[in-house]
Amino acid sequence: MKSATRFFVALALICAAPAMAETMREAVLRKAALENGLRPVEESWPEFEPEKAEVGKLLFESELLSLTRNVSCRNCHLDEFGSADGLPLGHGAGGVGKGIERMKSPAGVLSRNALALWGRGGAGFDTFFWDGRVDASSGDVRSQFGNMAPSDDPLVVTVHLPPVEFREMIGESDATEWLRLGEVGAAARVHMEIARRIRETPEIAAPLAVASGLEVAELTYLQIAEAIAAFIRSEFRLRKTKFHRFVFEGETLTERELAGGLLFYGRGQCAVCHTGAYFSDLQFHAIPFAQFGFGFNGFGIDYGRYNFTLDPRDRYAFRTPPLYNVTKTAPYSHSGVEPNLAGAIRAHVDPLAEIDTSRLSALDRAEVYQKIARWSQEPSYAVELSDAEIAELVAFLAALEFDPEPVR
């Protein structure tokens, strides 16, 4: 009888082993997420003035911010593309339609992929653009404005830049050629013209003046930028994801999501850079993606962060992109060269699998070698991942999705 009892106890333990192992894996993943800085989304929510955010929405969607009156911020930041535009390279001034349709129109083609806006301006999110051209991580705002930054709020400073960029919000024509002369006050003249237009538009000027505590005649581009920044902080606050519910509320992940999460925080070394509340260290790293398009530096070259620091160590380095809704923001990389997320992950650890060097010139191959040399200094250098493991990572990243519903 005792022998039979021992048998059934042993059988019960064997049957329970997979469940116990599963619980242990879940505990390991929760612990890893917390140790790598995941926090409830509410802790990242920034303060903002609702009245300014309300009028900021009108400004975000207005073509009055374009010197050539043919593009708004909303044209390149759409819900259906995870607050990006669904294109390899941004298509700005003069573009018509969404997604592929926009590529068929006479749009100004930019040198880099449009970034999503989720979390921008949230608590601790203080570095902006692929190359960090606006950076307040040191406590002081560093930007193209030098020591004449229009605000000590890095997001407000950031909002000053798109309207003065060729092809982004300024169409190329004889009427705008004067901007190419490099005159110090050129950007200020553009901002003054935009402010004049807004002052002459009662449906925007009146609520902006009230929200800013000024008379309409006193409004400048600074108040416009402050309102748009308030809107971004409101509209693009992080929402709770399935992974947040797993970590903080005990929701169950699928087997593939769980396996991908353990890879993400473990052998895949993804969390070395994709860490913290935003799944980004907001630092700069070099991944040898193939270059698509003309490139920021021309002739298919983009030196990334180096363009603003002139430090050779920053060559080919770009800011780590946050990963919220990343499954919705294809294509990927600074130049949008990777059409799917699995390929983007593969490029991080095995770039030559994504680059057909046989079709490159000797000069182009030399460029690839330089990128790989810089990449060899990164923590994710040459990690071996199978196709199945990459599929698990994609499944995990899908657990970072949320819908752009109003925050309650």
The whole-number pLDDT of residue 181 equals 73
Residue 15 lies in a domain: no
Give yes or no for residue 19 having a pLDDT over 90: no
Question: CA torsion sign, 119 to 120 to 121 to 127?
Answer: positive
pLDDT digit string, tens, across residues 192-222? 999 999 999 999 999 999 999 999 999 999 9
Task: Name which of 102, 111, 106 is nearest 76 in CA terms.
Answer: 102
The whole-number pLDDT of residue 8 equals 42
Q: Which of 220, 235, 250 is the last residue of a domain?
A: 235
The reply to whether 230 and 244 lie within a common domain is: no
The whole-number pLDDT of residue 185 equals 87
Domain count, the chain: 2
The whole-number pLDDT of residue 408 equals 59
Q: Which of 235, 251, 284 is the last residue of a domain?
A: 235
pLDDT digit string, tens, across residues 218-256? 999 999 999 999 999 999 999 999 999 999 999 999 999
The reply to whether 219 and 270 lie within a common domain is: no
Token pair, residue 216, equals 């309409």
Token pair, residue 217, equals 């005649």
The whole-number pLDDT of residue 128 equals 98
Q: Where are the beta strands (DSSP E) in 74-232?
A: 127-128, 134-135
The reply to whether 224 and 115 lie within a common domain is: yes
Give yes or no for residue 7 having a pLDDT over 90: no
The reply to whether 390 and 257 lie within a common domain is: yes
Q: Which of 180, 206, 235 is the last residue of a domain?
A: 235
The whole-number pLDDT of residue 13 equals 46
The reply to whether 70 and 152 lie within a common domain is: yes
The whole-number pLDDT of residue 222 equals 98
Which one has a higher pLDDT value, 317 or 180? 317
Answer for the pair 74, 60: CB distance below 8 angstroms, yes or no.
yes
The reply to whether 259 and 187 lie within a common domain is: no
Please give the Cα distance from 48 to 286 (Å, whole number).
Answer: 34
Which amino acid would we find at residue 214? Answer: L
For Cα atoms 291, 294, 298, give the angle at the middle one, nearest 5 degrees: 105
The reply to whether 337 and 216 lie within a common domain is: no
Give exposure, 262-296, as e/b (b: 16+ Cβ within 10 Å).
bbbbeebbbbebbbbbbbbbbebbbbbbbbbbbbb
Give yes or no for residue 106 having a pLDDT over 60: yes
Residue 404 lies in a domain: no
Residue 88 lies in a domain: yes
Percent of all residues in the chain with a pLDDT value above 90, rounded to a whole number: 85
Q: Which domain holds residue 191?
A: 50-235
Question: CA torsion sign, 205 to 206 to 212 to 215?
Answer: positive
Give yes or no for residue 331 having a pLDDT over 80: yes
H/E stretch holding 284: strand 284-285
CATH of the domain at 294: 1.10.760.10
The reply to whether 202 and 345 lie within a common domain is: no
Please give the Cα distance from 226 to 208 (Å, whole number).
Answer: 10
The reply to whether 297 and 229 lie within a common domain is: no
Give yes or no for residue 381 having a pLDDT over 90: no
pLDDT digit string, tens, across residues 120-139? 999 999 999 999 999 999 99
Token pair, residue 320, equals 């780590």
Chain mean pLDDT for the chain: 92
The whole-number pLDDT of residue 319 equals 98
Residue 19 lies in a domain: no
pLDDT band (50, 70, 90) for residue 281: very high
The reply to whether 244 and 231 lie within a common domain is: no
Give yes or no for residue 15 having a pLDDT over 70: no
Residue 22 lies in a domain: no
The reply to whether 56 and 86 lie within a common domain is: yes
The reply to whether 87 and 121 lie within a common domain is: yes
Mean pLDDT of 146-173: 95
